[in-house]
Chain A
Amino acid sequence: MAKKKVKKSKKPKRRVKKSKDLTIHFMPYSEIAREDAIGRVKKIMGFVLDNKIVILQGKLKADEETRLIENSMTLIGNISGFQGIEIATVSGNGEEEGVFNKIRHNIARILVGEQDAITIIGPASIVKEMTRDPKKVELMLKKR
C-alpha cells in the first residue's frame, strides 16, 4: 500500500502590516501606569508591530528599555519586514532650579511616575533616524 505523503505545513511567518498611511498613537501615562514591565513592553510593541509611531507620555525605566531592545532583537528575523525600533526620550530632568523644586519633582515622580518626559518609539522600517538633542527630538522618516 502506498504511503500517503504528508506535506509538512509551514507555519506562516508573521508579517509587519504594510500601509501607506502613517499613524501616530499618543499613549497617555495612565495607559501603562498599572502595567508591569512585561505588560508595558508588550503594549508598546503591539503598536510598533502595527507600524505605528508611539508617543508616550512619560518615560520607561532603564530595565524596561533594555527589555524593549531585547524583545525587538528577538523579533527581528522572526517577523518578516521588522528591522527593530527607534527610540528617544526627552525629559526635563535636572532642570529644576533650587532644592525645593528638586524635592517637589522627586515627590511627584514617586507619586505619579515620570510623566514630565516624552518617549517616542517607532518601527525602524518607518523611522529612519531619531536625532536627540537635550531638549528636542527630530524624526527622519523613510520615503514611502
Chain B
Amino acid sequence: MIRIIRNFARRLFSGVFKKKGEIKLGFYGSPNAGKTSLANRICQDWLGEDLGSVSRVPHETREVQVKEKVMIERDGRKVEFRLVDTPGIATKVDFEDFLKFGMKKKEAQERAKEATQGIIESIKWLDDMDAVIVLIDSTMNPYSQVNITIIGNLVARKIPVLVVANKIDLKKSDIKKVKGAFPEYEVVGISAKNGDNIEEFYEELFKLVKKAR
C-alpha cells in the first residue's frame, strides 16, 4: 500500500516537473533475452554508440545502465528517451552454471554474487519507469513466471508495456506462442542482433510513448 502511494506521488510530481518529451524507457526480461542488444541497436541507430556489452554467458549486465538524451525521430515526431537497461531477472542463480562457460570457480562465484545484486536493483528500478519494453526470447517457452511477474508488476503500477519477441532470426523462434501467452498486449517480433523488423518496433515504440504521456 505504501509502495502504491509512494509510486503515485512520484508519478504525479514527476509528471508536473518532467521535461517535455523525456521518457524513461526500461528494458526488462529474463537473462539473455536480448535487452542490451536492443538497447545497443537503438543507441547505434540514433547515437552511433553502444550502451553495454553483450555475451552468450547469462547475467552479462549486472548493473543498471542508463543512456540519457537518446532522441528518436519518426514521421516528423521527435521524442527524447532516457534508456534504462536492467540486469535480467531470474528466480535462481547458481554459480556452477557459469563454470560451463569456462569460468574459474572464484570468477563464477563473483559473477553469481553480482547477478543476485543486479536482480534486486532491477526490481527496485521498476517504480521509476515511464514505459517498459519486456524482452522475451522467442526461442524459449514464454510462459516463464519471471515474464508473468514482471508484466504483473508493471500492470499494478500502471506503467505501459510493449512486449518484444526477440531472436526471430533463429529457427526455433515461435512468435505465435509469445502472442498466445500475452494476448492482451501488443507483441512485436524483432531480431535485435540483425535489426530485422526494427522499423515496426519503432512504430510500436511511438504508440507506447503516447500511453506513457
Which chain A residues have a beta carbon within 8 Å of chain B's beta carbons? 61-63, 65-66, 69-70, 72-74, 76-77, 83-89, 124, 130-134
Contacts and interface: CB of A to CB of B under 8 A. Distances in A.
20 contacts: A63-B156, A65-B149, A66-B149, A66-B153, A69-B149, A70-B123, A76-B92, A76-B116, A77-B116, A83-B92, A84-B92, A84-B94, A85-B92, A86-B92, A88-B145, A124-B94, A132-B143, A133-B143, A134-B143, A134-B181
B89 interface: yes
Interface string B139-156: 001011100110011011
A132 B145 contact: yes
B148 A89 contact: yes
A73 B120 CA distance: 7
A73 B149 CA distance: 15
A76 B120 contact: no
B164 to A, nearest CB: 20
Interface residues of B, number: 27
B93 interface: yes
B143 A85 contact: no
| Interface class of chain A by DSSP | mixed
Contact of B93 (A65, A70, A84): A84
Given A74-B120, A83-B94, A85-B91, 18 more contacts: A62-B153, A62-B155, A62-B156, A66-B153, A69-B91, A69-B123, A70-B120, A76-B116, A77-B116, A84-B92, A84-B93, A85-B92, A86-B91, A89-B145, A89-B148, A131-B141, A132-B144, A134-B180
Interface in B74-103: 89-94
A89 B143 CA distance: 10
Contacts, number: 72
A134 B143 CA distance: 7
Nearest to B180: A134
Nearest to B94: A83
Contact of A76 (B89, B112, B152): B112
Contacts of A89: 145, 148
- Give 5 nearest A-B pairs by CB, closest first: A84-B92, A62-B152, A124-B92, A73-B116, A132-B143
A87 B116 contact: no
A88 B91 CA distance: 11
Given A62-B156, A89-B148, A83 B93 contact: yes
Given A63-B153, A83-B94, A133-B143, A73 B119 contact: yes
Most chain B CB within a 10 A radius of its CB, from A76, A85, A131, A132:
A76
Nearest to B123: A66
A84 B181 CA distance: 25
Given A89-B145, A89-B148, A132-B141, A72 B92 contact: yes
B3 interface: yes
Nearest to B146: A69
